Amino acid sequence: VTFVALSAQLALSVEQAKENEDIPGTANGSPAVPEAGAAPESESPESGQTGTLSDVSPEELAKAGEAAAKARFDREKDAEERRAFREAKAKQEAEEAASREAELRKTPVTYGSVIVLRHTPTDKLLAGTNFKYFHPHASNQHQVVAVDQEDSYTHWRVTPRAGQRWELVKDVPVKNGDVIRLNNM
């Protein structure tokens, strides 16, 4: 029984070492190769005697090999299940995002609404900055840039054209062709 446990440990150790390309107790990380016909030696913990794996029955060695193969199969199966879970989760999140976007498309934009503008081809968001245009003929308004992540600078309030107060037309849908202003929040 001790030899079976040791051979299973040996099979797992060699397999793990191959994955790491380093086997402890060998010179320069390269495995020690027994001479042809020589059986690997192991020590029995109970007796302190040294024996060879050739003293173990073929059935016990087969069981140890099966145990090592099952452990490897279980690790591969776990990795595959984790990968499938991540893919399913990503698919579900994409479907939920598409559903939210479809619902938003049904909702009309109204004066006073706070919106986020996305450039579809690059997936960037329109954002205001704290920096003003400073060249001689500039409007002295703040610069606008495209960013990757949503933050407070990517929120814009929809207001009517200059001279009208948005509070007076709040919640009135914006019609196609209306002139609007966007105020950075």
- Region of residue 38 (left: phi > 0; alpha: psi -120 to 50; beta: else): beta
pLDDT of residue 88: 94
φ/ψ of residue 106, rounded to 5: -75, -25
pLDDT of residue 3: 46
Q: Whole-model pTM?
A: 0.45
pLDDT of residue 92: 92
Sheet holding 142-147, edge to edge: 118-119, 124-132, 142-147
pLDDT of residue 161: 84
Sequential DSSP letters for 96-158: HHHHHHHHHHHSPPBTT-EEE-EETTTTEEEEEEEEEP-STT---PEEEEEESS--GGGEEEE
pLDDT of residue 123: 87
Please give the DSSP secondary-structure letter assigned to residue 26.
S
pLDDT of the chain, 185 residues: tens digit per residue? 444 444 445 555 555 555 555 444 444 444 444 544 444 554 445 545 555 656 777 788 788 888 888 888 889 989 999 999 999 999 998 898 888 888 877 888 888 888 888 888 898 998 888 777 777 777 777 788 888 988 888 899 998 888 888 788 888 898 888 888 888 88
Task: Find out whether 39 and 7 touch, Cβ atoms under 8 Å.
Answer: no
Q: Is 183 helix (H, G, I), strand (E, B) or coil?
A: strand
